[in-house]
Amino acid sequence: MTNGAASAETPVQVEHCDLCIVGAGITGINALFVASRYMSPSQKVILLDRRDRSGGMWVDTYDYVRLHQPHGLFTAGNIRWTLGRDRSYLATKDEVLAHFDHCLEVAKQRVRVDPYFGWALESHHETGGIVRLHCTSSDGRLMVVEAKRLIKAGGFGVVPNDPLQISSSRVVSVSPDCCDMRGDRMRSSDTPVWIVGGGKTAMDTAHALITEYPGREVNLVAGSGTFFSSRDRLFPAGGRRWWSGRLTSGIFTELGRRFDGTNETEVATWLRTAYGTWLTPTTGNFLLGILSESENETIAAGLNDVIMDHVVDAVDRNGDTDLVFRSGSTKTIQPGSWIVNCTGYILRHDLPYEPYVSDSGAVVSVQPRSATHHLTSYMGYFLTHLLFLDKLGEIPLYELDAAALKKKSNAALPYTLGSLTMHNLSLIADSVPNKVLLDCGLDLDHWYPLPRRMIGTTRFLLTHRRERAHLRQTLDTVRERFDIRCGPLPRGATVGS
């Protein structure tokens, strides 16, 4: 470390490294895992995050959150969990955070990692083959990091939700992130609860309330409703792993074949019928969430009222307290009712556009404005491989402005992400050693025994080139139809082209 000086009074710490990763969530930890496979023990990685530990959004998301998928499938690279639970177990928040600690320790065995938690990247620029990052700490210190390469792993920028702003003084407005449904505050009350939202957080919240307080009035205002992938069908338990269920890669392949960029309603109906579970009368949204049939049944049986509308406010008038909905209708509710903000976290805040790789190839950016896969975790894993293999400039990966598409068509978003993932995986498969595909522990196919997986992988390797033209056509159609960024980086903007 050396000391520079921004002014006579402000000492600026200066650090040098071979790679700086900004973001220590599952994306950044996957980037670290991959980088550690290419770097030598004497090289140095700086891992920087404004949160005060690794884990990303898992650090401050609501306490009763659990993984959607069986725990072994949420990891960095091929790092195994040390939990010792049944393979179908859904890890709790604390267990997920403990696994982050473990992954960090594993990476540290291969490369030097200097964590800077409580530090935020404010800006960066490239000069003379070096990336200079300007960073500030939560207690006001300044630091410049000079890195040969930078991976920005900010993901979807998930932050805890505040309670909804409500006019009524006779309701209690909370969010799951500031009020644990199983905590003393909720337990000491017996008034009705109105959950606002229809996604996974709403389901977790309903499930927590219904199972903790049998008989309590729990209601759901579910917007246009949603469906979930059925966990039982995606991940059949016990011996059924050998003969039932379908590999996720097979489902994605079929989804890619069916979606043509215009027929999202038809594809949603197929997916919902074949693999879905749901409890709302309409299912206008699908956000890749996973729910078990038993959770679905418990929630459906325990809910008092399900309203398909959007809450705008709750107001006190003429001695009553009314929920006011976007449609203009109202619903009188009991004074003292709880209103729980479960309106979601993903793609809610505007993030600036950045290409997934800078012109020089030294900066990789993983965020939804230039998505290359359906989940940021996959992007962290595959883009880092391509970075270290010097392939990022060669391969015409499609990037999708997922935030723009969400604004224009929530309905088309998940299927476009599916086509994008399969298109880019096809290009990547042709450019990396097979081991890169096999070591991706995020791959939900890993649920199945090796022989079934090998059949799936072989089928993918034999057919993916044939599928690519249709996938590209679908993505081009989405671009034209919605007038959004969806295509390869412009020639000249990519590395080495």
Ligand X SMILES: Cc1cc2nc3c(=O)[nH]c(=O)nc-3n(C[C@H](O)[C@H](O)[C@H](O)COP(=O)(O)OP(=O)(O)OC[C@H]3O[C@@H](n4cnc5c(N)ncnc54)[C@H](O)[C@@H]3O)c2cc1C
Please select the residue that binds ligand X; options are 36, 47, 56, 76, rule is CB under 6 A: 56
Residue 371 in the binding site for ligand X (CB under 6 A): no
Smallest distance, Å, CB 442 to ligand X? 7
Residue 23 in the binding site for ligand X (CB under 6 A): yes
| Torsion on CA atoms 81, 83, 87, 88, rounded to nearest 10 | -110
Contacts to ligand X from residues 70-109, by CB under 6 A = 74
Smallest distance, Å, CB 288 to ligand X? 8
Residue 28 in the binding site for ligand X (CB under 6 A): yes
From residue 267 to residue 296, what is the string marking binding to ligand X with x (rule CB under 6 A)? Answer: ------------------------------
Rg of the Cα atoms in the chain? 23
3-state DSSP assignment of residue 208: helix
Q: Give the C-alpha separation, 420 to 117, whole Å.
A: 33
Smallest distance, Å, CB 53 to ligand X? 9
Instruction: Please name which of 252, 275, 276, 255 lies closest in space to residue 267, comparing C-alpha atoms.
Output: 255
Contact between 308 and 280 (Cβ < 8 Å): yes
Q: Give the C-alpha separation, 272 to 14, whole Å.
A: 53
How many CA atoms lie within 13 Å of 212's alpha carbon, on the beta-carbon side?
19
Of 14 and 375, the one with the shorter C-beta distance to ligand X is: 375
Of 314 and 442, the one with the shorter C-beta distance to ligand X is: 442
Please select the residue that binds ligand X; options are 19, 34, 69, 248, rule is CB under 6 A: 69
Instruction: Please name which of 223, 227, 248 lies closest in space to residue 374, comparing C-alpha atoms.
Output: 248
Q: Give the C-alpha separation, 153 to 171, whole Å.
A: 39
Of 12 and 346, the one with the shorter C-beta distance to ligand X is: 346
Smallest distance, Å, CB 462 to ligand X? 28
* Region of 51-59, 357-365, 425-433, 478-486 interacting with ligand X (CB under 6 A): 51-59
453 backbone dihedrals φ, ψ, rounded to 5°: -65, -40
Residue 376 in the binding site for ligand X (CB under 6 A): yes
Residue 175 in the binding site for ligand X (CB under 6 A): no
Contacts to ligand X from residues 103-122, by CB under 6 A = 120-121
Helix or strand run (H / E) with residue 16: strand 11-22
Residue 51 in the binding site for ligand X (CB under 6 A): yes
Please select the residue that binds ligand X; options are 19, 39, 46, 50, rule is CB under 6 A: 50
Residue 161 in the binding site for ligand X (CB under 6 A): no
Q: Give the C-alpha separation, 96 to 69, whole Å.
A: 12
Smallest distance, Å, CB 29 to ligand X? 7
* Region of 102-110, 152-160, 241-249, 448-456 interacting with ligand X (CB under 6 A): 152-160
Of 164 and 324, the one with the shorter C-beta distance to ligand X is: 164
Q: Give the C-alpha separation, 374 to 61, whole Å.
A: 21
Residue 27 in the binding site for ligand X (CB under 6 A): yes
Residue 321 in the binding site for ligand X (CB under 6 A): no
Query: In 339-449, which ranges are continuous DSSP H helix?
Result: 376-388, 402-408, 413-429, 434-438
Contacts to ligand X from residues 181-220, by CB under 6 A = 201
Using alpha carbons, list the distances in angstroms from residue 145 to 17, 130, 266.
7, 10, 50
Residue 49 in the binding site for ligand X (CB under 6 A): yes
Using alpha carbons, list the distances in angstroms from residue 263 to 81, 228, 248, 272, 481.
40, 19, 21, 14, 12
The contact set with ligand X (CB under 6 A) reads 22-28, 48-51, 56-57, 61, 65, 67-69, 74, 120-121, 153-156, 158, 201, 345-346, 375-377
